[in-house]
Amino acid sequence: MNQLKKILVLHTGGTISMSANASGDLQPNDENPLVADVDMEGMFHHQLQLITEEIFNLPSPHVTPERMLELRNRIVRAENDEGIDGVVITHGTDTLEETAYFLDLTLPNTIPVVVTGAMRGANEIGSDGLHNFQSAVWTANSDDARGKGVLVVMNDEVHTARFVTKTHTTNVATFRTPTFGPIGLISKQHVNFFQELIQQTVCDIDHVIGGVYLLKAFAGMDGDLFDAIDQPTTRGLVIEALGAGNLPPATLPALHRLLAHDIPVVLVSRCFNGIAEDVYDYEGGGVELKKMGVVFCRGLNGQKARIKLLVGLSNGMQGETLHHYVNNAFS
Taking residues 284-299, report their average pLDDT.
96
Confidence band of 2 (pLDDT split at 50, 70, 90) = low
Q: Give the long-range contacts of residues 24-31, CB within 8 A, separation 24 or more.
A: 26/121, 28/57, 28/59, 29/122
- Considering the candidates 15, 93, 106, 116, report the single residue annotated as catalytic: 15
End-to-end CA distance of the chain: 41
pLDDT at 326 over 80: yes
Rounded to 5 degrees, what are φ and ψ at 166? -80, 125
**Residue 325 amino acid letter:** Y
Residue pair 101/161 in contact (Cβ under 8 Å)? The answer is yes
Mean pLDDT is lowest, of 22-31, 160-169, 230-239, 254-263, for 22-31
Dihedral sign for Cα 163, 279, 249, 265, please: positive
Per-position DSSP letters for 75-97, written without gaps between them: HHHHHHHS---EEEEE--SSSHH
The whole-angstrom separation of Cα 132 and Cα 36 is 17
Segment 228-284, tens digit of pLDDT:
999 999 999 999 999 999 999 999 999 999 999 999 999 999 998 999 999 999 999
What local confidence, expressed as pLDDT, does residue 237 receive? 98
* Residues 294, 276 contacting (CB under 8 angstroms): no
> What's the rounded mean pLDDT across residues 168-191?
93
- Whole-angstrom Cα distance, residue 100 to residue 304? 10
Q: Give dist(CA 170, CA 122) in Å, integer.
A: 15
d(Cα 104, Cα 116) in Å, to the nearest integer?
14
Cβ contact 11:17 at 8 Å: yes
Least-confidence region, from 5-9, 91-95, 178-182, 285-289: 178-182
Residue 37: predicted pLDDT: 64
Who's near 286: CB < 8 A, 6+ residues apart?
241, 244, 245, 246, 267, 276, 277, 278, 279, 280, 296
Reported as a pLDDT band with limits 50, 70 and 90, residue 32 is confident
15 is annotated as an active-site residue:
yes
Amino acid at 20: A
